[in-house]
Every structure is written in C-alpha cells, then in structure tokens.
Structure 1
C-alpha cells in the first residue's frame, strides 16, 4: 500500500513540477521572447527547487536531518537533476533545431523522458535511505 501511495504521490507532485516547468518556460519564451535554451534552464531551476521540497516532504517522506544529512541528500538530488537537465536541453536542441518540432511540443516530449529518469533516480539513489530504515 505504501508503494502505491508513493507512486501516486510522485505522479501528482511530478505533474505539479511539470506544470511549474512548462508554465515558467512558456511565460519566458512567449510573452518575453527569451531564447528557448535560456527559458529551459530557468524553468528547470525553479522546477527542481519545487521538486526537491515536495519529494522530500510528501513523496518519499525523507527524515534526513542535520546539515550533513540534508546537504548529502540535496546534493545528490541536484546532481541527478543536472543529468535530467542534460536530457531536457539535449532533447530540446535535437527536436527544435534538427527535427524542426515546435518548441513547446518539444518541451512536452522531453519532459516525459525527464520524469521517468527522475523517478528512477529518486527511488534508487537519492531517497534510497528512506526505504532502508
């Protein structure tokens, strides 16, 4: 039952994180005409901060405490999210510039790969200690 709750919580907060990511991207890229690569990076930063807080508190119920424990957890979270940024930005460049797909549709497509990668990384590496206790 805990596993089902965890998956649904991850999907719910993952959807909210995706909304944050897409909304920030759309606002920067459209009304403000910020380059899609810069918009992707800014949207990623805000979404990652939101994701860390919600994953820690509501999805994986992490009890990491103390400066060292929190820094270790946060460091691994941001490290894996940097890898997901590489997936995101590489996918965007490939789809927008090589395949000539609309930038917002490209953002939606790359987010599917990012969501899958992030769940696996969070479950197996970042918040692994939660399952072990």
Structure 2
C-alpha cells in the first residue's frame, strides 16, 4: 500500500513539474503574442488578449493532453468530449481575464503589460484546477 501511495505522489509531483514547465511556456506564448498584438500592432487590449488566447490554448491543449496529464482518448467521441471540456474551461478563464483587463486597463488605465501579467497568474492557477479536476481527471 505504501508503494502505491509513494508512486502516486511521484506521479503527482511529476505532473506538477510538467505543468509548471509547459504552463510557463504557455505563459510566454500568451504574454509574447499579447505584446505583439497590443503593443507592436496597436490592437485593442481585449482583442489582443483574445487573439493571444487562441495561440496559448492550442499549445496548452496539446502539451497538457500528451505530456502533463497523459490523457489518451480511445474513441473519437471521448477525444471531442475531452477537447470540449478543455476549451470550455479555458473559455471561462478567458472571460475572467477579459474582465480583469477591461476593469484595470480600459476603465482604470493601468499599464497594459502589468495587468496582463497579473491576470495570467490568476488564469494559470484556475486552468490547472480546471484541467486537474474536470478535463483530465481520468488517467
């Protein structure tokens, strides 16, 4: 029994480390593409954030499914259900992030990149919880 608990703890630690690595890469993709759209191209912060979200979420889905949570889907139906759950969860955190950006950048005129960075911290934590508890819960 102790060996099973120890193995589970090892797997959980490995999962957390991989999520941290790929989460940081997703963070960089999100911040980098947001900066490109918002600062370099002058696109509105809410639109720039939504565009950055597309790139970050596509990268995140592949890495979370394949390497972090190792969640195979034996059928097409299971694959699409898992994908729908993932994108639905990410969409919920997009709405939260857009609200943060709207309030702090659009209404209160805080610096764009600082708000985006702070919002990303909130989003990364929420995304992990959603992925762990709802999307990739069955191994």
Provide TM-score, normalisation by structure 2.
0.91
Alpha-carbon distance in 1 for matches of 2:105, 2:51: 18
Whether 2:49 is the aligned partner of 1:62: answer: no
5 Å matches for 1:48-127? 48-127=57-136
SS of the residue 1:128 aligns to: coil
Q: Could you give the per-residue CA deviations for residues 83-108 of structure 1, whole angstroms, max 9, x where no partner exists?
A: 01011100111111333310110000
Aligned length: 130
Alpha-carbon distance in 1 for matches of 2:41, 2:107: 24
Alpha-carbon distance in 2 for matches of 1:91, 1:73: 27
- Consecutive unaligned residues of structure 1, counting only runs of 5 or more, are none
Q: Could you give the per-residue CA deviations for residues 102-122 of structure 1, whole angstroms, max 9, x where no partner exists?
A: 011000000011001000000
Alpha-carbon distance in 2 for matches of 1:100, 1:35: 13
Could you list the structure 1 runs, at least 4 aligned residues long, displaced by more than 6 angstroms after superposition.
none
Bigger CA radius of gyration? 2
